[in-house]
Amino acid sequence: TIEFNTGDDKTQDIIEIIDKTGRTVYNRNIGRQFDQIIIDTRNFISGSYIVRLVSGGQYVGNTGIIIAH
Q: Is 6 left (phi over 0), alpha (psi -120 to 50) or beta?
A: alpha
Which amino acid, one-letter code, is at 2? I
Whole-angstrom distance, CA of residue 25 vs CA of residue 69: 17
Report residue 1's pLDDT band, with 50, 70 and 90 as the boundaries: low
pLDDT in tens, 20-69: 999 999 998 887 665 778 889 999 999 999 999 888 888 888 999 999 98
Average pLDDT over residues 11-25: 91
CA pair distance 30, 46, nearest whole angstrom: 25
